[in-house]
Amino acid sequence: MNTRLIRIGHSPDPDDAFMFYALAKERLQTGRFRFQHILEAIDTLNGWAIEGKLEVTALSVHAYTYVADRYILLPHGASIGRNYGPIVVAKRRFDPADLRGKRIAIPGKFTTAFLVLRLYLDEFQAVEVPFDQVFDAIDSDKADAALVIHEGQLTFETHGLTKLVDLGGWWHDRTGLPLPLGANAIRKDLGEPCCLEVSGYLRASIDYGLAHRQEALQYAMQFGRGLDARLADRFVGMYVNEDTRAWNEECRRGLEHLLNLAWEQGVIARRIHPEFLPD
């Protein structure tokens, strides 16, 4: 049997590590496929997706709007915020309305966090830095506030910072819908039969992690960047759960609404109708 290599790009974060644990540690039989895991920061993966570099990739929902012609969304693997999500923090508490015109450190212009911030706030100065340097941007006075993704949502107080707004909470209050932040996508040129086979293995990896939580969590801990076991467990629980197993109808409506609103407000250049690989 000829082996086919599939490169999977995902971020070196506890939630992605948990999701891909079974594939990375060969807990599954994968038939004719061999999977190579490429770990990069989400903004790098977003840029690579625009180039079409990898067969399968994690990407921001915002980035998907630039690659919808080339990639199709997998029906699983989403990171969904339910009344929580990216946050904006600063050294001192002030009215979020006073963020207008301020310098805000952002973890990448293709992140969904940046898209939602633009829906929330119509005028601010974006200071683009790597996601793990947004706190430093405040400390060095390069920014007045920071847009925080990943585990920083749980650790910002240890940096002496205060939360001004939770964009996932704001989105829920405005729409009553979950906030889709990240997704997994596969390149269409692989052909549907191949895409469906690969999709099955990726779903099996998610199912394995959820069924063997402590085993997968122990592996994910090494990507926690200082998170203790309690916080790592909490973070994984926020973003790897039943919403990750399948894009249900409510999550898909959240995605449609987010992309429609982004188009209507001029945040993205064209209306995007999300396309999902069949289950």
Per-residue 3-state assignment (H helix, E strand, C coil) for the chain: CCCEEEEEEECCCHHHHHHHHHHHCCCCCCCCEEEEEEECCHHHHHHHHHHCCCCEEEEEHHHHHHHCCCEEECCCCCEEECCCCCEEEECCCCCHHHHCCCEEEECCCCCHHHHHHHHHCCCCEEEECCHHHHHHHHHCCCCCEEEECCCHHHHHHHHCCEEEEEHHHHHHHHHCCCEEEEEEEEEHHHCHHHHHHHHHHHHHHHHHHHHCHHHHHHHHHHHCCCCCHHHHHHHHHHHCCHHHHCCCHHHHHHHHHHHHHHHHCCCCCCCCCCCECCC
Cα Rg, the chain, nearest whole Å: 18
Active-site entry in 10, 62, 150, 172: 150
Cβ atoms within 10 Å, residue 165: 20
Give catalytic status of residue 150 as yes or no.
Answer: yes
Residue type at position 13: D
Query: 233 near 46, Cβ under 8 Å?
Result: no
Q: Give catalytic residue positions.
A: 150
